[in-house]
Amino acid sequence: MPLYHSQLYKDSLAQLENAAEAMSADPNIVERLKYPKRAIQVSIPIRLDDGTVKTFEGYRVQHNLTLGPGKGGIRFHPHVDLSETTALAMLMTFKCALVGLPLGGAKGGVKVDPNDLSRQELQGLTRRYAMEIGPFVGPDKDIPAPDIGTDKQTMAWFMDTYSQVQGYAAHGVVTGKPISIGGSLGREAATGKGVAYCINFAYDKMDKEINHSTTVAIHGFGKVGVPAAVDLSEQGAKIVAVSDHTGGVYCEQGLNVLDLQEFCSKEKGLLKDYTRAGVEHISNSDLLALEVDVLIPAAIDSVITIENMEQVKAKIIAEGANGPLTKEAIKYLSEKGVFIIPDILCNAGGVIVSYFEWVQGLAHFFWDEDQINKTLHSILKNAFAEVVKKSEHYKVDMKTAAMCAALAKLEAAMKLRGLFPG
């Protein structure tokens, strides 16, 4: 399948080229960043519970390792392909560079619907995938993490498989692990908490504050959307709408976020089945078009496109997902005055605390949650200020400015390291 197949990859290349043009970046550096360093495709045969053998497609893409080992999640989803995985790896390169982490960009995935497999089948899939990509990952090579369709249990299986081969407990091979086997406090909520931090920074920039009149809609009430909703509601904001793949729920007076969280996590409920007094059901399309102060697209890429961008009425869009706005939507909404907090900044909380977990694992010394959240806040605050500065300096939108800031760091490092063999 061609690398240029997915909309996300095309949009990622367009962002790179826009930033390169704005800052007059070295064209040789830009050319190198258009292509991944390494793209691995593997076959994953597993025995299903009924005794039959089924083979799945798996990928691991390492985009750029100039700044350090690869870092990026593993996604179990029916739409995973080489193009999407490459685009996500590219975004990870820029994300790590932007927030100053000594890590490169990578991503992995398996083309599968995890809901179709039993726990035993999922374990078999994870362990065989870990074996197939094992030669290319490791604490000093490439460090996977959870993503859509995977979680801390997936990471535990992956770590155990890799450790069995190595002959010792290799804590640093993955992040997002359970606390009991070397995971970090604060990791699970880090991406959503980072989204909330960035929204606060945006409000500070506008000389405003989040209060009971602040309205928020969240597209994708999951790993990112839930902690963002909890954090913002604790500050007094009204979460008026949230959604999952089955649809959304809306309440003008504000939803009970903790009740929703309990329903979705403990009861494993779908929002289409959520019924409470005063709550009405809406579609995902309806949610994106709500007149709210803050819209958080926190599900998948390319949900706000040329088809629906004119319906968006939010004043601030915080990109909790990777690439939720296409390039046409970014241009249109930015020109309309919508403040877009770009994905490589807005959802960087996850990789930042993954970095903390990796460091803690290598040092065998663990931090308390307060220290983790304070350091996360500080890194994101500095990165946000840098993006604003680049936006004002180059007179570009925040999305392009974030890429400029990341590209400047990569350009400097790549020039210093040079081109081998020269």
Residues tagged active-site:
107
Measured distance CA(243)–CA(270) in Å, rounded? 9
Q: Which of 402, 356, 362, 360 is nearest to 376 (CA)?
A: 356
φ/ψ region of 360 (left if φ > 0, alpha if ψ in -120 to 50, else beta) reads alpha
State the residue for tokens 């000389």: 207
> What's the 3-state SS for 98-115?
HCCCCCEEEEEEEECCHH
- Closest-CA residue to 216 (of 298, 275, 273, 137): 298
The conformation of residue 271, written as its DSSP 8-state character, comes to G
| CB-count burial class (<10 Å; 0-12, 13-18, 19+) for 43 | exposed
The token pair at 300 is: 């998948």
- Which residue is it, tokens 């392909």? 81
Considering only CA atoms, which of 146, 4, 18 is closest in space to residue 87? 4
DSSP lists the bridge partners of residue 59 as 41, 109
> Helix 225-234 vs helix 257-265: angle between axes, to the nearest 10 degrees?
160
Structure token digits, residue 166: 């190595």
Q: Which residues contact 91 (CB under 8 A, 6 or more apart)?
A: 12, 105, 322, 323, 343, 344
